[in-house]
């Protein structure tokens, strides 16, 4: 058995398709659990992270629709915690069921996770993180007129989405607990949606703040803190590409961090989609040359581990 520590960051397509109902999302999570269990059977000790952009955006819309003096809407950090708990429950339940069916003696725990950020992070003056459903330009203009504080941006050619501050993670409060759980052989679900953003006050207390942390950067930070061997970032494609969607499109297989940094300088990766994934993989591997990162699709996960397909990133 391998017994390597791996942090797996699930992309949004592993949870949400076009149908935003709980039943549909639970089915998508159940399908994802099958692929994750394949890795557990290979001997990997897993920490599983996940996004929550569509879910927290939808929840905010529901909160706003029901907002009243007697039933006030919850703030963004609390909505983040609520969706982290809900998706964590779905994943925990789905993995428990698959592990039980396959006769794998493993326990699963989901942990609501506080991720510390700096209140002085410049991201708070430049909202950039997309959340919620994709809208047409007309729908986005209509929503923006309702609230002057809401900012919408076009997201990688897929439509317009609300954007919120996305500060970089400094540390993860529960990382020692996550490491303890791994040492006990417990599959751990943590830092969902990038975790709940908190800042440290002058008195040393941690306090929630209105923001959404990118889940790939949170996953990289967690992987660093628990000294994981492998960071696996799952997305909607099997490989990272340069010149994506063009006639000279080329997939990247084995690639070094310096090569990826050159591609970033060329503007090869979209800020709202592939750029944070590539940047997180670079940070993880640069911090320890013995580590590797993989960017691939959920469906390609087993082949990536066994046969080395997908985009593998090493320091160099």
Instruction: Return residue ranges of the chain for CATH 3.40.1160.10.
Output: 5-118+169-314
CB atoms within 10 A of CB 2: 12
- The pLDDT value recorded for residue 141 is 83
CATH code of domain 5-118+169-314? 3.40.1160.10
Which residue among the candidates 57, 129, 192, 272 is catalytic per the annotation?
Answer: 129
Give me 18's structure tokens.
């076009």
Please report, for residues 77, 148, 194, 292, the alpha-carbon distance to residue 103 in angstroms, rounded to integers and kept in the order given: 38, 54, 31, 30
Which residue among the candidates 215, 272, 300, 310 is catalytic per the annotation?
Answer: 215
Query: Average pLDDT of each block of 10 consecutive residues along the chain (316 residues)?
Result: 82 74 88 94 95 85 85 91 96 97 97 97 88 81 74 82 90 97 96 96 94 95 96 95 94 97 96 91 92 94 91 95
Which residue among the candidates 11, 12, 57, 194 is catalytic per the annotation?
Answer: 12
Q: Is 12 a catalytic site residue?
A: yes
Q: Is 13 a catalytic site residue?
A: yes
Please report, for residues 65, 128, 147, 188, the alpha-carbon distance to residue 46 in angstroms, rounded to integers and kept in the order given: 38, 30, 42, 7
Residues in the chain: 316
CB atoms within 10 A of CB 24: 14
Burial tier of 31 (Cβ tally within 10 Å: 0-12, 13-18, 19+): middle
Residue 265, C-beta contacts closer than 8 angstroms, at least 6 positions apart: none
Give me 161's structure tokens.
């989405």
Please report, for residues 5, 163, 185, 198, 272, the alpha-carbon distance to residue 129 in angstroms, rounded to integers and kept in the order given: 29, 5, 34, 17, 7
- The pLDDT value recorded for residue 96 is 98
- The pLDDT value recorded for residue 13 is 65
CB atoms within 10 A of CB 97: 14
Which residue among the candidates 53, 88, 193, 277 is catalytic per the annotation?
Answer: 277
- The pLDDT value recorded for residue 1 is 43
Quick one: residue 24, left, alpha or beta (phi over 0 = left, psi -120 to 50 = alpha)? alpha
Q: Is 129 a catalytic site residue?
A: yes
- The pLDDT value recorded for residue 19 is 77
- CA pair distance 157, 151, nearest whole angstrom: 17
């Amino acid at each position: 058995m391998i017994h390597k520590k791996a942090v797996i960051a699930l992309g949004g397509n592993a949870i949400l398709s076009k149908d935003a109902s709980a039943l549909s999302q639970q089915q998508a999570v159940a399908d994802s659990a099958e692929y994750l269990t394949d890795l557990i059977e290979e001997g990997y000790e897993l920490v599983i992270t996940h996004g929550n952009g569509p879910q927290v955006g939808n929840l905010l819309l529901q909160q706003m629709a029901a907002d009243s003096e007697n039933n006030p809407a919850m703030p963004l950090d609390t909505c983040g915690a609520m969706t982290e708990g809900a998706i964590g429950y779905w994943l925990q339940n789905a993995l428990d069921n698959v592990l039980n069916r396959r006769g794998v003696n493993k326990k699963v725990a989901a942990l609501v996770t506080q991720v510390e950020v700096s209140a002085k992070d410049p991201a708070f003056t430049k909202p950039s993180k997309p959340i919620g459903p994709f809208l047409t330009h007309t729908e986005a203009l209509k929503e923006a007129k309702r609230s002057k504080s809401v900012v919408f941006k076009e997201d990688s050619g897929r439509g317009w989405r609300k954007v919120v501050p996305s500060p970089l993670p400094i540390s993860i409060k529960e990382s020692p607990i996550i490491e303890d759980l791994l040492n006990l052989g417990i599959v751990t679900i943590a830092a969902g949606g990038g975790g709940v953003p908190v800042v440290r006050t002058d008195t040393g207390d941690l306090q929630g703040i209105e923001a959404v942390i990118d889940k790939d950067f949170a996953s990289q930070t967690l992987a660093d803190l628990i000294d994981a061997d492998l960071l696996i970032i799952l997305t909607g494609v099997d490989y990272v590409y340069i010149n994506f969607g063009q006639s000279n499109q080329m997939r990247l297989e084995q690639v070094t961090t310096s090569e990826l940094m050159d591609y970033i300088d060329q503007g090869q990766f979209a800020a709202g989609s592939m750029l944070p994934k590539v940047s997180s993989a670079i940070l993880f591997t640069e911090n320890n040359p013995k580590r590797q990162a993989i960017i691939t699709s959920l469906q390609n996960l087993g082949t990536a581990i066994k046969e080395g397909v997908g985009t593998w990133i090493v320091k160099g």
